[in-house]
Structure formats: C-alpha cells, structure tokens
Structure 1
Amino acid sequence: MTSLLPALHDGSGSAAAREAVRFGEHTLTYAQLAAASDALAARIAGAGRVAVWATPTAETVVAVVAALRAGVPAVPLNPKSGTRELAHIVADSAPSAVLAGAGDVLPPVLAALDRKDVDTAAAAAADGVVFPEPSPESSALIVYTSGTTGPPKGAILPRRAIAASLDALADAWQWTGDDVLVHALPLFHVHGLILGVLGPLRLGGSVRHLGRFSTEAVARELSSGATMLFGVPTMYHRIAEALGTTAPAATELAEALAGARLLVSGSAALPVHDHERIAAATGRRVIERYGMTETLMNTGIRADGEPRPGTVGAPLRGVELRLVEEDGTPLDDPTAEDAVGEIQVRGPNLFAGYLNRPDATAAAFAEDGWFRTGDMAALDADGYVRIVGRKATDLIKSGGYKIGAGEIENALLDHPGVREAAVTGEPDPDLGERIVAWVVPADPAAPPTEAELADHVAALLAPHKRPRTVRYLEVLPRNDMGKIMKRSLGA
C-alpha cells in the first residue's frame, strides 16, 4: 500500500459507507471521517507541527487523521498530564496549534497556541485541497515517552514505521477489514492510537472505543459483532476476576470472549495466573505482543501460532532481534538454560530518533545500528521471546545469578493468598542484591507469611530465586497503562 490510510482516500469505494469509528453513540463512517478530516487538514496545511488534545473521542481521531492527511506531524497530549510535563512537551515540540474538541477545557499552559476546534460533522470543500502522500520517511507522529529516567523524550515516528508495524501485525494476526476491534485504551500512545485506531483504519475495518473500560461493555460489544479485543494486563485481570464469580454477567462475559476471534494483551506482561483463569472460563487464550514507543511492534504470537503464556511470540515480519551481554556482544547461545540478555532490534519499524536530542538518539543505538531496548529476555528454542523485565529495574543480580523479576512475579501470583505482586532488588552485603517481593494479599487480614511465599517460589522455580524479603501493600502503584511503577516502590 502506498497510502497510509487507503480506505479513507477511496470515497466511492466499498468502505465509504462502512462504520470507521464508534465512541458510544457517536459514529463516523469512512466517508464522514474522510470529509471531516479533509476539512480540518485544509485548515492546518503548512503548519510545522500540531498538538492534539487526545481525549478518548471521535474528535481525536479526526484530528490525528487530518494531520496525517496534511502531512503535518501530530503530537498527542495526555489530558491527564500535569502542568510541568505538558509545559515540557509543548516547549520541546513547539507546535503551532492545538487541535481539540469544541467543548474541551484546555489548561493555561496551552493558551499561547492557536486553538483549532475539531468539527466531526464538517464537510470537505467540493473543490477540496489535494493532499499528496508524504514521503514514507516523513514524520507522522511525535509520541512522548513516559520519562521514567528524566523529562519525557519525543520519539519521532515516520510513516514508514507505522505502516511496517501495522502490516506486520495484519500478517501475524490475519487482521483484515472484516474485523471489528474493541478497546478502551487512551489515545495518546502507541497501543491505543496507532494499533487501536490507525490499525483498523489502515485495513478498512472498524473500531469501537468503550470510553471507559468495563467488563459489561466488553461483553456487549463482543456479543454484537466485534471480533477482536485489545487490552492491558489490568483490564484482563479485571476480566479474570469477573469470570470467577457466579453472577449471570460472568456467563455472558465468558460466552462473549469465547466468540471473539482474537484477544490481545500488551504494554506489560500479563501474569500467567490471569492467562489460565481466562482460558479455563472461556476456552480461549489471550495472546501477547511486545513493542515500545521507539520501535512500535517487535514480536507477537500469531493467530495461527501456539498461544504460550509467559511469552510474547517470535519477531514479526521484517524485524530482526538479538540478545546481548552487558558489554553488547551477542549471546553465544540465547536459547541455553538460564541465558538472559538485553533485547536489541532493527528493522523498518524503528523510530527516526528523539526530537531535539541527538545525544539520546545516539546512545539508544549500538555501534552497528541495533536499537537498545533496555528489556531483558530469554529465548525459547523455537524463537519465542520470554521477557523477564527491564534492565534498569527488573534484572536482579543475586549470588552470582542473573534473575528476571517477571518469572518470580508469576510464581507469586500462582499462590492463592496473593492478589498482586511485584519484585525488585535491593543491595545486600552478601548476595550483591536480595530479591524483594511486594505483595497485595488476597485477604489483608490473613496474608501468607514470608516463609510460605519464599518456599512457594523456591518449589516452582529454584531456591536462589526465592524472595528474601516480603513487604505487604494495599495496592501497587501503577501508571495510566497499568504498568507497575517500580521506582515508586523503591522510593
């Protein structure tokens, strides 16, 4: 495909009358989305960059599509961001305008920008402006990272990377224009916006956004024509919990999930315990994929492949992946028992660099051009990747062993007395680092003991992987994507 969103450019084609997006009662067909986005594209043509106030609404979709049509890089803004973070992103990306719904109340930090209200009912001019397809290497989106180690960095995502990732997923998941996707993810990042919105639009399919996640809404949409569900582990955990009840809604949810073509989890690892609970109740397996802002999608379990809990599948079409030692040399045998290395990737899915940060861009790549993900993983014999955590927070060096926090967390979650768990390392004079388990007990009044949990992990994994310290919490700190903020635990 030469166009990024071909179905939108074919006003007389079969997709014109098809529903493109739905947000509650607000729906847009392909023809309506094309008209509204072209009208807005004509208003922003020639702008250097535009910010998009990325609420979970049809207005956000029109705004992003308009920017893509006009060849203007869009900077999605998280409406929940604090003043300091928003000020940094605006100063760094220097947009000339902000696109927002007419009813949106924008914070003062955006007051200096030229505001352009999005009209989802606008009609493109009869003698509409012609929008030539930009170069594949031109910037489509600038998506800011979470900023866990400093101010957020703007990852420049070219049209080439978006097309390559979505086409690779279409190949892996047998994803077509006949699919109807359901999700409730925010629209300011890769998972919710690129996969969850641009994915269906590139293929000529449709997306139903729930606004707010609920198991009832998931059941309703999957029972009324939707074929795919995208979610993060927090959502699937709630689904697993709901399936475990005896309420009539649990039966309806199980039937709806059983009828879906594909259940996909991403953005963080889905605990094996939740995998098994959902499979037992529905007969369907959730599959996982692995990506990040800078690389978009790297691996994924195929629709016709083996859904193996605890893994994120093999590299997608066009993506090369290797595991390296701390000094950057590739592992001699990445499939050897207990072999763990940092994931490095290269391919057409990679970003073009960090905006205004040539130093950070250079540091992100190895000398031979591979991107350093910072994620640690092991490799199964058939190429399936098992991520064990982040290099900075999840690789624990204890007693001469390299230990991934992820497998210990899965083992802890297999204990009936554990509702949630996270694992970190902390300095130890004897071991170098000791394993610390942060546990939310299923019954706060009667939590499992430290010794009980240590023995449980040692029996499932190995003695050197047992937690040496257990700390009990009422809730684990999480970000908007449901990822556990381990730096907050350490603090």
Structure 2
Amino acid sequence: MKRTSAFQPHSVEREDRADGTILLRSKHELTKPVARTGDWLLKWADKAPDRVFLAERSGAGWREETYASVLQKVRAVGSSLLARGLGPETPILVISGNGVDHGILALAAQYVGVPIVPVAEQYALIHGAHGRLREAIRLIGPRMVYAVDAEQYGEALDLDVLQGVEIVCSRPGSRSVTAFADLLKGDNATDPDAAFDTVTADTVGKILMTSGSTSSPKGVLTTHRMMCVNQEQLADALPFLRARPPVIVDWLPWNHVFGGSHNFNMMLANGGSLYIDDGKPVKGLFDRTVENLKLKTGTLAFNVPLGFGMLLSALEADRDLRRRFFEDLDLIFYAGASLPQEVWAGFERMTYEIKGEIPLMTSSWGLTETAPSAMMQQEPAPRSGIVGVPVNGVTVKLIPDEDMRCEIRVKGPNIMPGYFNDPEKTKAAFDEEGYFITGDAMVFLDEKDPDKGMRFDGRISEDFKLQSGTWVRAAQLKLDMLSRLAPLASDLIVTGADRGQIGVMIFPNVAELTREGFALQEDGGAYSCELLQGEIHRRLSERAREISGSSALVSRAIVLSDPPSMPEGEMTAKGNLNARKVLTRRAALLERLYIDNDPAVVTI
C-alpha cells in the first residue's frame, strides 16, 4: 500500500563492547537547533504573522490567536512578569489545563527566563488530591500561580501553602486576584527583549513533574536546549513537518511531556496550528472531542490507545467525519501502551478506503527526562508496539540479559541536566559514563538487523519472580491480558511476586458490563458475579491452552469493585496505575486472590 508521508530511513550504527553492552546511534547528522523556544515564535511571527498558532473553543466556534498576536501578548506578559521581579529562581505554577492564556503565559515566562511549572488540573479540582498539589507547591515554591477560572479552582487557590503567592486568573469572578488581562497590559519600565537576550540554551524553560507511578514525583529540569533539540530530532525523522505547516486538534495535557513539549512545541517549531480539544477520551467528554473534530481536523493525529479506540468507533459511525478526518492526514501517532492491533488495522482500512493510501502510523519511546523522544519508528511499521531506533544525536546503551532483553540507558543533548532541588536523585539517575538510567527494557525485532528497530518490553522494576525462581515480565503480560479481557477490563494489575502462580486484579469497565447485563454484586471490595466470572474463566482457560511455561500462565483473577483512587496515589494524573500503591492499599484483596475457595476468585 502506498504511504503518504515522507520519512528519514533508519540507518543505525551498532557497537558491541567486550562486556556485552551494545551501543546504538543514528548515522544521520542532527540538524542544528535554535537556542530558545522564543526563536521559533519570532521566526513565525515574521514569516507567517497571520497564521493561526493557538485556538480554543469559544461559543459555537474558535478563539484563534495568530503568531503575530501571540508574540505581542508574550512580550506584554513578559514585561509584566519582569516588573514583578520574576526570574530564573521564581517559578510560575499553573494548576489548570490547556488553554490559549495558559500557552501565552508559558511562552512569555520562557521568553524572559522564568520557569513555568504546569501540574495536573486534577490535583486542584479533586479535593482528595490536594495532598499532591501541596507536595508540588512545597517542592517548587512558586511566586505566582495561574488558574483559568478563580471560582472553579477556588478551593485549591485557598490552600494555606499559597499564602502570599500572587494568584492570576483569566476569569477572576468576584475573587480578589490578579486578572490575566492586567498582565496583558504590560509594563513600559521593563524590556522583555533585553531579558530574552539573556536566555540561553541552558536556561530552564519549564519544570515538569514526573507521574509518580513508580516513586514520588520529581521535578524534571527542562532546558531550552532539550526542547529545541528534540524538535529538530523529530523533524529530521519526519521531514513532512518542515514541508508544510502541521495542524492538530489535541487534548493531551500540557503538564505532561507528550502534550506540553512534544505536541505544543512541534506546532511552534514548524509554524503549525494547535486547536485545543477541550474533550477527553472518557465517558461524558468524548462527545465534545467529536464535536470539535467536526469543526476542525488536522494533518497529524496524536492520542493514547484508549483515545484512538474511541475515535475509531466514532469514525465508523460517521462517514462525513471519516472522510474529513483522513483526507489531509500525514501521521497517526500513539503513545503509552501499545495500540491494540485491531485498532491499528481499523485505521489502516479506513484511511485506505478514503485516500487510497496510508499515512505514517507509528510511535516512539522516551520519558519526561528525555524531552521526550529518544527513539522513533519513522519507517512504516508492520504492526503496533515498535518504538524504532535512536533519533539523531542520541546514543542508546543496551545492557542485555541472557534472553537478550535489554535494559536501556540514553545520552544526548535532549537529556535533562537533573531534578529540581534534588542532587541525590540527580546523581543516582546517571551511570558512570553519563548515561541516563531509564529503568525501561527493550528487545530487538531482529538482533542481526538493528535498523528494524526495537520493541518496548516494560519497566525493569515491574518484573518479579515466582516462588519457582521464574521471572515474570509483568508489563508485556499486562498488555496481553488487557487485550484478552477487552472490553471487560479497563485496567489491571499483574500479581504473583514470591507466590506460586500469576494472578490479575481487574479494574472492570463497569459501563460495558452494565450494558452487557452482568449483575454485579459487591463482596468486600470485589465483585461476585457468576456470569462475569464464567466469562473470565473461559478466556483464561482458552489462553492457557495457547501458551507454555509458568512465566506467562495467568491462573487466577479477581474483579475489584472500587475504582483506583487518585487521592490515595493508586492512579497518577496521566491515568496510569501505581501498582505498588494498589497492592499495598488492597493487601487484603491480594490475599483473597490466592484463596481457592473464595467466591469472588476465578481459578483455572
């Protein structure tokens, strides 16, 4: 099938060391980056002043801001920040989600050398998650806090840890806070362009909080160099980004590196347009995403696998939306867990029907600490789950075990200098050669041909041993089980450390189970439902007949009645489960899972 998108072919250099360590790097040269994010804004405000850069829903249409208008407002807000004495040591905390004013504030802060710190809006909106917000505030010590709406975020803005901190809101309401409109007035006594001249590639542009899925959240120092280099790495791999300005309609949160650095900066670096989708791939909000797509479609589509699954269903039901969604599309890009193959195949089929050709469908691998992309599958892939090869300028160090499953470490100009105010964790994050220790694992698609790329194989810390000494690769097993149990399970935890058998603790898709007529009865934190348990037993038994060896045999399951709790740390702001927290908080249910005669437990 013909592909529509140009890409840089894989060309990997492999170095095998005497100790078994493998180094991989691209043979292609990295394009020289600009030094600061403001350089992009100046460029496009000059070359395409009337092109839309940022847009958000306003009534029946969009509030659109051009490159010229954004630059004017960035300079005005930047001068207001300088007038308040803000600088490199006085971060600005953002507690609300994506929005045009949020984007202008972030760019203004970066323009004059003030770090911006976006955190998950759930921390402010969910009363029980205020502990997470307090933790971030105490770590960062902000001089200013921004929220889009003073009333909506009022409870969080009243926290005692924000006493004496200037509060800025786009919609102040009746509260005594600074209106964002006041920042837009600027201050003639300061010179934002003079401040911009002092900003360098090593200046910290933002501090991003890690998700805390495996440990306490840390503040990743994200420099202008990291962000600017990473966009050249992406455009080197995907040259169609430079060939025409990209357009996205995107919901991914800016407090996370995927939405806030990868996608936001991709539009800014390449003169593109970012239409902010105020929907989300969750029940009750996805209809808004569909509505937004009916108003505007893009040339690139970014999402998590769950979002693409919901989008596929919506496109199947609406031929006109399907046609408009695919007709100008260059790229389908997923991040997070592997995209289910049936969803992958569905998008291939649809786009081929509409265009007679298929855009590049791909993914990459990286972390908050790598800005984020460190590896990318820029060539067309035969299936989902492949994360490719090192991007230009990055060297990957692989430490293989006896099964050629490799621990991965990385070095390059897009890697963080360290964690905010935490020299001990910074030191522990790098090995003796200066490679960042990621904690992730990879496997070659073809060990003899590194150009075929690699597949993500979970986090080293998630693996465990059974009593027999057999290693269980929990992350890969989890993906397989989610596929097997779809759509009954929304998420699950793989168990069995130091036990005789592998089990799963299932968070159910209650809406789907209700629709299918399963009569769910709560039993001490678990659901007891004979019909549901019979279906799970059938699927586990069917799978057991297809596999060999105890390292992948799931022989017991329990369905949890209570959803994961963000306030208790069971779920991160990105929606990822913190397995350690779940197993600790639900230790009694874990013990029940290994009791054969418990009425809520399925065994095979």
Instruction: Verify same fold: TM over 0.5.
Output: yes
Deviation sequence 1:292-317 (CA, Å, 0-9, x none): 11122222221x43253122222222
Equivalent in 341, 344, 352 of residue 275 of structure 1 = 344
Equivalent in 290, 293, 299 of residue 375 of structure 2 = 299
Cα gap change, 1:222/1:316 in structure 2, threshold over 3 Å: closer, same or farther? farther
Deviation sequence 1:206-248 (CA, Å, 0-9, x none): 111111133674585488452011112221121234356xx3x
Is 1:438 matched up with 2:506?
yes
Deviation at 1:435, TM superposition (A): 4.5
Contact residue 344 and residue 373 of structure 1 kept, 8 A = yes
Secondary structure of 1:192's match? helix
Cα gap change, 1:307/1:458 in structure 2, threshold over 3 Å: closer, same or farther? same
Secondary structure of 2:136's match? helix
Equivalent in 343, 352, 372 of residue 408 of structure 2 = 343
Is 1:66 matched up with 2:108?
yes
Structure having the larger proportion of residues in helix: 2
| Separation in 2, partners of 1:312, 1:481 | 20
Equivalent in 528, 540, 553 of residue 454 of structure 1 = 540
Contact residue 102 and residue 118 of structure 1 kept, 8 A = no
Q: Which amino acid aligns with 1:312?
A: V
Alignment of 1:162-177 (within 5 A): 162-174=227-239, 175-176=241-242
Secondary structure of 1:305's match? coil
Q: Which amino acid aligns with 1:163?
A: C
Equivalent in 155, 167, 176 of residue 115 of structure 1 = 167
Question: Which residue matches 1:326?
Answer: none
Contact residue 465 and residue 498 of structure 2 kept, 8 A = no
Contact residue 210 and residue 217 of structure 2 kept, 8 A = yes
Secondary structure of 2:387's match? coil
Secondary structure of 1:119's match? helix
Secondary structure of 1:368's match? coil
Question: Which residue matches 2:26?
Answer: none
Contact residue 437 and residue 467 of structure 1 kept, 8 A = no
Equivalent in 22, 33, 37 of residue 4 of structure 1 = 37
| Separation in 1, partners of 2:44, 2:377 | 35
Equivalent in 249, 271, 277 of residue 210 of structure 1 = 277
Secondary structure of 2:122's match? coil
Deviation at 1:173, TM superposition (A): 2.5
Cα gap change, 1:412/1:9 in structure 2, threshold over 3 Å: closer, same or farther? same
Deviation sequence 1:60-119 (CA, Å, 0-9, x none): 101100011001111113222132222222221122222344756442133421234433
| Separation in 2, partners of 1:108, 1:488 | 29
Deviation sequence 1:17-42 (CA, Å, 0-9, x none): 11001111221100111111111111
Equivalent in 74, 77, 91 of residue 40 of structure 1 = 77
Question: Which residue matches 1:469?
Answer: 556
| Separation in 1, partners of 2:562, 2:229 | 39
Deviation at 1:146, TM superposition (A): 1.9
Is 1:308 matched up with 2:308?
no
| Separation in 1, partners of 2:118, 2:573 | 15
| Separation in 2, partners of 1:468, 1:238 | 30
Deviation at 1:416, TM superposition (A): 7.3
Question: Which residue matches 1:263?
Answer: 332
Is 1:20 matched up with 2:53?
yes
Contact residue 435 and residue 467 of structure 1 kept, 8 A = yes
Equivalent in 223, 227, 242 of residue 158 of structure 1 = 223
Question: Which residue matches 1:403?
Answer: 472
Equivalent in 388, 391, 406 of residue 460 of structure 2 = 391
| Separation in 1, partners of 2:411, 2:258 | 20
| Greater alpha carbon shift after TM alignment, 19-28 vs 266-275 | 266-275
Secondary structure of 1:388's match? strand
Q: TM-score, normalised by structure 1?
A: 0.86
Contact residue 300 and residue 312 of structure 1 kept, 8 A = yes
Is there any run of 5+ residues in structure 2 with no aligned partner, and where?
A: 1-33, 124-128, 169-178, 281-285, 353-357, 519-530, 565-570, 587-604
Question: Which residue matches 1:141?
Answer: 206
Equivalent in 477, 487, 491 of residue 580 of structure 2 = 487
Secondary structure of 2:68's match? helix
Which structure has more relative contact order (CA 8 Å, sep 6+)? It is 2
Cα gap change, 1:55/1:346 in structure 2, threshold over 3 Å: closer, same or farther? same
Deviation at 1:205, TM superposition (A): 1.0
Q: Which amino acid aligns with 1:388?
A: D
| Separation in 1, partners of 2:302, 2:272 | 15
Deviation at 1:372, TM superposition (A): 1.4
Contact residue 303 and residue 335 of structure 2 kept, 8 A = yes
Contact residue 36 and residue 225 of structure 2 kept, 8 A = no
Deviation at 1:414, TM superposition (A): 4.4
| Separation in 2, partners of 1:63, 1:78 | 17
| Greater alpha carbon shift after TM alignment, 379-388 vs 103-112 | 103-112
Deviation at 1:417, TM superposition (A): 6.1
Secondary structure of 1:343's match? strand
Question: Which residue matches 1:327?
Answer: none
Question: Which residue matches 2:8?
Answer: none
| Separation in 2, partners of 1:101, 1:202 | 26
Q: Which amino acid aligns with 1:315?
A: P
Deviation at 1:55, TM superposition (A): 2.2
| Separation in 2, partners of 1:439, 1:487 | 15
Is 1:426 matched up with 2:496?
yes
Is there any run of 5+ residues in structure 1 with no aligned partner, and where?
A: 324-329
| Separation in 2, partners of 1:3, 1:429 | 52
Cα gap change, 1:357/1:90 in structure 2, threshold over 3 Å: closer, same or farther? same
Question: Which residue matches 1:233?
Answer: 305
Contact residue 251 and residue 279 of structure 2 kept, 8 A = yes
Secondary structure of 2:211's match? coil
Secondary structure of 1:367's match? coil
Is 1:91 matched up with 2:138?
yes
Is 1:376 matched up with 2:441?
yes
Deviation at 1:14, TM superposition (A): 2.4
Deviation sequence 1:165-213 (CA, Å, 0-9, x none): 1221122233235110221112212111112212211221111111113
Contact residue 249 and residue 277 of structure 2 kept, 8 A = yes
Cα gap change, 1:66/1:27 in structure 2, threshold over 3 Å: closer, same or farther? same
Deviation at 1:347, TM superposition (A): 1.1
Contact residue 411 and residue 436 of structure 2 kept, 8 A = yes
Contact residue 290 and residue 300 of structure 1 kept, 8 A = yes
| Separation in 2, partners of 1:315, 1:194 | 19
| Separation in 1, partners of 2:96, 2:381 | 36
Cα gap change, 1:13/1:427 in structure 2, threshold over 3 Å: closer, same or farther? closer
| Separation in 1, partners of 2:298, 2:288 | 14
Deviation at 1:359, TM superposition (A): 1.1
Count of aligned residue pairs for this structure pair: 473
Percentage identity across paired residues of the two chains: 23
Q: TM-score, normalised by structure 2?
A: 0.71
